[in-house]
């Protein structure tokens, strides 16, 4: 196996074995603490511009398959694992992870101390990094890291948002709930049935995950997906029952062109937003966001719903957060992260608009928070 180097801008380097593609890639190094779901992580457009390290040390165990993709291609700039499995053991496996990454030209590195890396990022903060099989020396790799663009102020949405609008899953073949066979109930392994369409909405694609679209459809939404630069006027012209803003990569403050359109839509249409969309809502309402030291990335983050007092274990992937101090009085914080008390959900007190920082659609991660989609449906009902 050829050697690969992961170099951080502050001079720390990790030398390991290369897998997947070869070459050089730069981005922001971050870590994800999910023990399962590496394929969903790879293909989540929110990871655009990032070199992702998995804290769970054994990765690739169950291979990859088409059904678990959250978008057409992997978006990470590089993938860092402690040990890549030599075998993909699962009836669902279609392609081993290494081959999948090679096919998509993603550089991987294994046999580095990912815990040491995690601790480094935890104490020093997420930072620029280079993952390379080409650098002749550690110093050269560090230079590559230093020359990378930082995450703050970066607009990666433009790289991942759809160019052309499209109608999500018009014939309902993609969105049914993924199921396992159940002899007692007679359920086969095919996707589950869908409810009839109840609401037609427009979804801003800031880097949308497929499971968000599937979840929307599962809750009776017919979804027309539009690009990030779609104007409010165009959206209103379609007269949807509601507007949705998706997750996505990069710094929410760099997205003025989305803030302004969302501001136009608030009060005119019920709005629901997830992740980057949530941060955009904060901006659109006059609030601001800040960069977290090393972000929340994983599937075990406890979030308290301040309305019910209930705690959900949530799937998260965000490097920025909404500043609660910045929010105007008419915006209420509805959810907080119990680990660091950061804002995880907000709601407009007077207008039908709410958002959530984490991922109710899961994929990967727990399903505890899927109630948000129903809340959106109820919200639309209540405003009709």
In the block, residue with structure tokens 């929340």: 296
Closer residue to another protein, CB minimum distance, 38 or 156: 38
Q: Which two tokens stand for residue 209?
A: 């995950």
Is the distance from CB of 355 to CB of 318 less than 8 angstroms? no
Distance CA 130, CA 138 (A): 10
- CA atoms 212, 362, 252, 154: torsion sign: negative
* 163 is a catalytic site residue: no
Nearer to another protein, 113 or 139 (CB): 113
Query: Tokens 């279609």 belong to which residue?
Result: 94
With respect to another protein, which residue has the nearer C-beta, 108 or 287? 108
Least distance (Å) between residue 276 CB and another protein:
22
Residue 299 Cβ, how far from another protein at the closest point, in Å? 7
Nearest to 126 by CA among 135, 138, 117, 114: 117
275 is catalytic: yes
For the question of residue 359 being annotated catalytic, the response is: yes
Smallest gap from residue 217 Cβ to another protein (A)? 17
Token pair of 359, please?
A: 């991922």
CB of 224 or CB of 361, closer to another protein:
361
Q: Which of 120, 283, 318, 359 is catalytic?
A: 359
Task: Find the shortest distance in angstroms from Cβ 296 to another protein.
Answer: 9
Q: Which residue is catalytic, options 40, 224, 261, 361?
A: 361
User: What CA–CA distance (Å, rounded) separates 176 from 191?
Assistant: 5
Spell out the residues 6+ positions from residue 33 whose beta carbon is closer than 8 angstroms to its own. 55, 56, 297, 298, 299, 300
- Min CB(183)–another protein separation in Å: 6
| Of 46 and 61, CB closest to another protein | 61
Across the strands, what pairs with 6? 14, 131
> CA 352, CA 268: separation in Å to the nearest integer?
9
Catalytic residue from among 275, 278, 296, 351? 275
Question: Which residues form the interface with another protein (CB under 8 A)?
Answer: 14, 31, 33-37, 39-40, 55-58, 61-62, 65, 67-68, 82-83, 85-87, 89-92, 113-116, 118-119, 122, 178, 180-185, 189, 298-302, 304, 309-311, 313, 338-339, 362-367
Overall size of the chain counted in residues: 384
CA–CA gap between residue 192 and residue 252 (Å, rounded): 35
Which residue numbers are catalytic? 275, 359, 361
């Amino acid at each position: 196996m050829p050697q690969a180097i992961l170099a951080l801008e502050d001079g720390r380097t990790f030398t390991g074995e290369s897998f997947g593609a070869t070459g050089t890639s730069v981005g922001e190094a971050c870590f994800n603490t999910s023990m399962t779901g590496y394929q969903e992580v790879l293909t989540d457009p929110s990871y655009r511009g990032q070199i992702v390290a998995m804290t769970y040390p054994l990765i690739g165990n169950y291979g990859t398959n088409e059904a678990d993709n959250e978008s057409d291609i992997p978006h990470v700039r590089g993938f860092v694992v402690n040990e890549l499995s030599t075998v993909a053991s699962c009836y669902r496996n279609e392609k081993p992870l290494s081959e999948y990454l090679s096919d998509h030209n993603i550089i991987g590195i294994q046999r580095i101390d990912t815990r040491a890396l995690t601790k480094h990022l935890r104490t020093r903060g997420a930072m620029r990094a280079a993952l390379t099989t080409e650098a002749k020396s550690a110093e050269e790799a560090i230079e590559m890291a230093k020359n990378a663009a930082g995450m703050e102020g970066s607009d990666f949405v433009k790289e991942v948002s759809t160019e052309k609008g499209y109608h999500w899953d018009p014939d309902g073949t993609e969105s049914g709930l993924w199921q396992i066979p159940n002899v007692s109930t007679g359920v086969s392994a095919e996707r589950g049935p869908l409810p009839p369409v109840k609401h037609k909405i427009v979804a801003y694609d800031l880097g949308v995950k497929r499971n968000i679209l599937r979840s929307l459809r599962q809750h009776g939404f017919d979804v027309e997906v539009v690009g990030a630069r779609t104007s409010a006027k165009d959206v209103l012209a379609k007269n949807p029952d509601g507007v949705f803003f998706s997750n996505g990569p990069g710094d929410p403050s760099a997205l003025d062109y989305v803030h302004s359109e969302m501001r136009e839509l608030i009060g005119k249409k019920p709005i629901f937003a997830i992740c980057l969309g949530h941060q955009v809502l904060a901006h659109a309402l006059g609030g601001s966001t800040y960069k977290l030291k090393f972000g929340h990335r994983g599937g075990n983050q406890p979030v308290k719903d301040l309305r019910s007092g209930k705690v959900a274990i949530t799937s998260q992937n965000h490097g920025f957060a909404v500043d609660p101090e910045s929010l105007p009085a008419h915006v209420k914080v509805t959810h907080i992260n119990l680990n660091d008390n950061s804002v995880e959900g907000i709601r407009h007190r007077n207008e039908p608009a709410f958002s959530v920082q984490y991922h109710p659609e899961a994929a990967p991660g727990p399903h505890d928070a899927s109630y948000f989609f129903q809340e959106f449906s109820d919200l639309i009902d209540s405003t009709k």
